[in-house]
Structure 1
Amino acid sequence: MMNTLTRLNLYPGAFASVGVTSEDIPEIVDCVLASSPDYVTVEGFDQDTAAAIADRLSCMGISVHVAGSGERQWRTPLTIFNGLLDRIRSTPPRGDRG
């Protein structure tokens, strides 16, 4: 009988045994995806790293909670996308307009 992992607690040293450090965000995400969890709790990372990991996992369809964020669940892919669009719209155009 096969046991399916549905929850994963992700902390900086979780994948140290395979040479992945807390700065290796793409590799961390790959390792998490290989575990196929439905829900991940991200804890112990600095705020920017935790947000980057959580955004990528959320966009891959995984429910995410970031410990210390004050939110029960991390933002959804649609919320992430809308935030990016808002930033693009509010960014002044580059180049000379003279």
Structure 2
Amino acid sequence: MISEVSRWSGSMAKSDSFFIRHTTNIGNTANFAQGTIDLGAYVDALGKSVLRIHNIAVTMSDATGTTSEVTATGSAPYNGAAAQFQLTTQSQTDTVLPSSKAVISS
């Protein structure tokens, strides 16, 4: 859940909760893949409106929403499977370490 908080000089900030949903097709390869979510519509720097992220939920599934079956096929070192995700503040060319200031969640 993400909430937009408008900052003003009153005693309490106005907060409206909403959800942003996004699908990224990462293909069926071992290559790095990424998708972007434009949050510009949710932030107003001149109006001092900020975006606060409260929760991130990730699902890795096939095109129908079903969990993909992971099988150990192939020859070493490619005889297993792994999946990971990162939410970052800027585009990346590969996964980055969690210590990077660009990482919001991983």
Give the structure with higher Rg (CA): 2
TM score, norm. by length of structure 2: 0.23
Greater helix proportion: 1
TM score, norm. by length of structure 1: 0.24
